[in-house]
Structure 1
Amino acid sequence: MRTQVIVVGAGPTGLMLAHELRLAGVSTLVLERLTEPNPQSRAGSLQPRTAEVLDLRGLLTPLLDGVPLTGLIGGHFAALPVPLDCTPWQTRYPTPVPVSQGRLEEFLEQRVIANGGEVRRGTEVLAVSQTEHGVQVNTTTGDTLHADYLVACDGAHSTVRKHLAMAFPGQAATIRSVVADIVLTNRPVGTSEGGRHFSEMVRGTNDYWTVLHPLGDGVYRFMFGSLTEPSPPRDQPVTEAETRAALQAVYGPEIDLTEIRAASRFSNASRQLTNYRANRVFFAGDAAHIHLPVGGQGVNLGVQDAMNLGWKLAAQLSGQAPEGLLDTYQSERHPVAAGVLANTQAQGVLLNPGGAAEVAALRDLMTGLLRLPEVNRHLSGMVSGLDIRYDLADGAEELVGRRMPDLDVVSGGGVERVAGLTHAGRGLLLRFDDGGSAGVVGGWADRVDQVEVKADGWRGSVLVRPDGHVCWAGSGDGDGGLGAALTRWFGAPTGR
């Protein structure tokens, strides 16, 4: 069998990438070793930038399916008791959005299949080989698959990464902890079904630290670790005995388990591939980088990896990509992940409930700093991903490289949002009363939409890539470098 792209892994990263590829008409096959979706709750909400990315494709509203976005509480940095506020970042989603990772995966898989993609479950990769012109994959189902490109989105213990003998440098795990979905005999005192900041759910006593987070219908996500006992191996099954011991040590002997629905171990390992590409194989999500899972940053990072790579890979396959476009995936996404690894390592130090008195003093100091608007803005932008600015041009206008705000604009069709103009996954030239760029897009009309709009405080023109990041801004007579920007990001105009 031959397809244009094989995606290995049906998590949020792989499925988002498959969605982007199918949107561009690329034949796509997703391979997933699990026969059924992972039943564990995992990330319980989406960071603001993930919500924006989904909104760019019209996916967020049906994903929410009527879930209200009012009364939500801001995210956290190292479980400090000051909510992160993303309002200064000009976003419609100033707090994490209450959509679980499981729900996101289910929804994206349905969309991929509905758009003509294939998700083949129960299929594990046995071997990967490459030639100058393509990739060959052998699977446990006896198939030999061929593709132009392969993207490994198969998680922290990536099979593809191991088959290609890719080094995964970084910091090895020093602690391992447990996360479990559990049902309790009765609700612990001081807990509720929602409306509490993450910092209120963290407790540490009797040689344990715990987080007990209600999922609804009497089910809780329970995270815990021992402050004195050595960490069990990663593959050792989580037992009722160890879960009960942690639960009762912190919440009292009257609390007991009814059942453990799902459980796994996680660590503070922090690693990143040096190169996200090995010839015709790319790496994204946890296959490219791992870190302490704090604040839902892993899903945020992976979905944006997919959004960045998808349109570039599609352009390459269509023959329209300018030289070096695929190389920008590495140059743009590698520094972003390195920043996340750094901030999660810092949070790991602050989160340490068994740390010395100096850690408590540092937490008090950081709590005071977080109450300062500028500090809160800085950390909220970092954790949410709203502060990302790709280095697209030296000395460029401040907006270039940043995410395009989802403005309310007036166009020929009336009042609409910028996000509503990006559902097709094409480039977008927004002309805010600017005659200088009129007609310039003609040679790229098959790849870039041009829309005349009005918005308070905005003048000139802005060129937006399919991933929602601005790649040119200007105004005045002539094209002001717009033609060069179109060529750089969207290839030569039609007819050349």
Structure 2
Amino acid sequence: MHDTVIVGAGPVGLFLACELRLAGCSVVVLEREPEPRSPWKAEPLGMRGLSAASVEAFYRRGLLRPLLTASGVRDDPGAAPDADEPSPPRSAGHFAGMMLDPTRVDLAALPFRLPGPAVEGVMTNLEAIETVLTEQATELGVEIRRGVTVSAVTQDDDGVVARAGGHEYAARWLVGCDGGRSTVRRLAGFEFVGTEPQFTGYVMLATVADLEKLRPGFNLTQTGMYLRTHRDGHIGMTDFDGGAFDRSQRPTRDHLQAVLRRVSGTDVTLGDVRLAASFTDRAMQTTTYRQGRVMLAGDAAHIHSPLGGQGLNLGLGDAVNLGWKLAASVHGHAPDGLLDTYTRERHPVGAGVLDWSRAQVAVMRPDPHARAIQGVVRDLLGTRDGTTHVFERTSGSSNRYDLGSEHPLTGRSAPDFRLAHGIRLGDLMHDGRGVVLDLSADRALHGSARGWEGRIRYAVGPARDDLGLGAVLVRPDGTVAWAGDRDPDRAAFERAAGQWFGSPEL
């Protein structure tokens, strides 16, 4: 029996598998597709934007440099190693196709931002992400079985069994990371609720006889929206038909040309269509992320339109949040209710992304009311506060879990503190353990921290910039679990450590 069965070998399933194996859990990953490579994963169709929060997750596991190399990115997405101040972002993204000016981002308004190598997003592709994660999983000893389709899931108080291809895979836990049409979600009986689509979206790779008729970038029009990227023939578009066309029939060249002409207001002519697919803005979410010993992560738990590129980032956040909690449960040192915090913390984040997606769709509708709202939104995005707000949301820097503490840093992603000898917090998190940074002059927490050896790494300051703090307890997912002033309270630290890491005697 394995500790965990993961269904789905996409980025979310692979990242989760690495997290669990890093913590010493036995893991098998079942993937329906027989081959990992696909033109839908490579550029340009597989292009994806990783938010700063996702880049941070790779950085904290020592995977940022391999990811940048696989993605063809030469520069670190952040400040120079010796920078004293955070650098302004090179890109600020968009809202409903309306691009943001990165020079308008107010860095002073971003909470607890310190310079570091992972404070900005990265453009990459699914093939690069999966290649890096597959190599890491293989090195860690994760078992990946491809060409395996799950047909049944049963569970009891002791474990769960997935039936696939005539075999049974027994485990203590099962996690469905098998996408928007999740088989695990259906078989385990999760309730999936939300809103129906407003549009059919299309993405294609085609030759265009008169490409100059299409303006580069995002283009909101009187009849929809189209996107022309820097890659010739890579085009996306939305047709507000209530989602009527999606998956109802194959998108032919004539149909795609008709839609493109309608939404672009041109007489552009398509040639050969090499690849094409449709999608919608249907926004759905399971009411819980856990049913007994079965859990969901990524698109299996929530789907929405790809506007803003939040889906992959949301799923990676699920994996990072769940991995260490599930591993603690496997090893028997999880405090009561730890696994329940997965839904409690991640469900509101998912609901917020769905609403963010819905808001963009409402603004993009081709009618006079939406166009009036577009004007208001453009004005707001032209302000420093408006740009900063959208950047905070899309970068993940505004995320904060409610951990029951009034300290403004608790529940947020930990700043990348740089200790006096040059080691950064991110360097201390490669093995997936929590970290306590004792920045006080007298090593106030040394004796207390030793009680959680093996689960929490103890590191001593001072830091180059301690933000006025004396100590910080960081969970394995990079979230600040507790923060103390320059004279940290040992009893408060011990309560927080026990809350998240269990009894020190275990």
The CA deviation string for residues 3-23 of structure 1, in whole angstroms up to 9 with x for no partner, is 111111112211111111111
| Percent of paired sites with the same residue | 36
Say if 1:432 and 1:458, in contact at 8 Å, map to a contact too.
no
- Aligned twin of 1:202: 219
> Could you tell me which amino acid in structure 1 is paired with residue 50 of structure 2?
L
1:75 shift after superposition: 0.6
Change in CA separation of 1:111 and 1:125 when aligned onto 2, cut-off 3 Å? same
- Aligned twin of 2:229: 213
Equivalent position SS for 1:342: helix
- Aligned twin of 1:161: 185
Equivalent position SS for 1:54: helix
1:467 aligns with 2:491: no
Say if 1:75 and 1:95, in contact at 8 Å, map to a contact too.
no
- Aligned twin of 1:13: 12
Q: Which of 444, 448, 453 is equivalent to 2:456?
A: 448
1:208 shift after superposition: 5.2
> Could you tell me which amino acid in structure 2 is paired with residue 138 of structure 1?
R
1:143 aligns with 2:167: yes
Distance 2:260 2:200 in 1: 17
- Which runs of structure 2 are paired with 1:17-166 in the superposition (5 Å)? 17-37=16-36, 38-40=38-40, 41-65=45-69, 67-69=73-75, 72-83=90-101, 85=105, 87=107, 88-89=109-110, 90=113, 92=116, 95-139=120-164, 141-166=165-190
Say if 1:427 and 1:447, in contact at 8 Å, map to a contact too.
yes
Say if 2:56 and 2:119, in contact at 8 Å, map to a contact too.
no
* Ranges in structure 1 where 5+ consecutive residues have no aligned partner: 193-199
> Could you tell me which amino acid in structure 1 is paired with residue 229 of structure 2?
H
Change in CA separation of 1:228 and 1:293 when aligned onto 2, cut-off 3 Å? closer
Q: Which of 194, 205, 230 is equivalent to 1:170?
A: 194
1:219 shift after superposition: 5.2
Say if 2:175 and 2:296, in contact at 8 Å, map to a contact too.
yes
Change in CA separation of 1:434 and 1:462 when aligned onto 2, cut-off 3 Å? farther
Say if 2:253 and 2:270, in contact at 8 Å, map to a contact too.
no
Equivalent position SS for 1:345: helix
The CA deviation string for residues 356-380 of structure 1, in whole angstroms up to 9 with x for no partner, is 2x22221111111122222322221
Q: Which of 286, 296, 311 is equivalent to 1:273?
A: 286
- Aligned twin of 1:421: 428
Distance 1:230 1:7 in 2: 31
Distance 1:269 1:144 in 2: 34
1:130 shift after superposition: 0.3
> Could you tell me which amino acid in structure 2 is paired with residue 350 of structure 1?
V
> Could you tell me which amino acid in structure 2 is paired with residue 76 of structure 1?
H
Equivalent position SS for 2:198: coil
Say if 1:176 and 1:234, in contact at 8 Å, map to a contact too.
no
1:203 shift after superposition: 4.6
1:166 shift after superposition: 2.0
Distance 1:228 1:313 in 2: 42
The CA deviation string for residues 235-289 of structure 1, in whole angstroms up to 9 with x for no partner, is 522222222333455385564333323x222111111111110100001111111
Equivalent position SS for 2:179: coil
Say if 1:275 and 1:330, in contact at 8 Å, map to a contact too.
yes
Change in CA separation of 1:142 and 1:236 when aligned onto 2, cut-off 3 Å? same
The CA deviation string for residues 291-338 of structure 1, in whole angstroms up to 9 with x for no partner, is 121111001100000000000001111111111111110111011111
Q: Which of 408, 411, 422 is equivalent to 1:398?
A: 408
Say if 2:173 and 2:293, in contact at 8 Å, map to a contact too.
yes
1:372 aligns with 2:389: no
What's the TM-score once normalised by structure 1's chain length?
Answer: 0.90
Say if 2:188 and 2:294, in contact at 8 Å, map to a contact too.
no
Distance 2:488 2:396 in 1: 35
Change in CA separation of 1:228 and 1:419 when aligned onto 2, cut-off 3 Å? closer
Q: Which of 410, 425, 438 is equivalent to 2:446?
A: 438
Equivalent position SS for 2:99: coil
1:98 shift after superposition: 1.3
1:44 shift after superposition: 2.4
Say if 1:74 and 1:94, in contact at 8 Å, map to a contact too.
no
Change in CA separation of 1:165 and 1:190 when aligned onto 2, cut-off 3 Å? closer
Equivalent position SS for 1:58: coil
> Could you tell me which amino acid in structure 2 is paired with residue 153 of structure 1?
C
Distance 1:422 1:202 in 2: 42
1:165 shift after superposition: 2.5
Q: Which of 278, 281, 289 is equivalent to 2:302?
A: 289
Distance 1:164 1:75 in 2: 37
Equivalent position SS for 1:102: helix
Equivalent position SS for 1:408: coil
* Ranges in structure 2 where 5+ consecutive residues have no aligned partner: 78-88
Say if 1:391 and 1:401, in contact at 8 Å, map to a contact too.
yes
- Aligned twin of 2:80: none
1:186 shift after superposition: 6.3
> Could you tell me which amino acid in structure 1 is paired with residue 39 of structure 2?
P
Distance 1:465 1:265 in 2: 40
> Could you tell me which amino acid in structure 2 is paired with residue 317 of structure 1?
V
What's the TM-score once normalised by structure 2's chain length?
Answer: 0.88
The CA deviation string for residues 368-422 of structure 1, in whole angstroms up to 9 with x for no partner, is 112222232222111222111111114x311111110123332xxx213221111
What CA RMSD, in Å, does the superposition of the two structures yield over aligned residues? 2.3
1:225 shift after superposition: 3.3
- How many residues align? The count is 475
1:479 aligns with 2:490: yes
1:256 aligns with 2:270: yes
Of stretches 431-440 and 381-390 in structure 1, the one that deviates more from structure 2 is 431-440
1:478 shift after superposition: 4.9
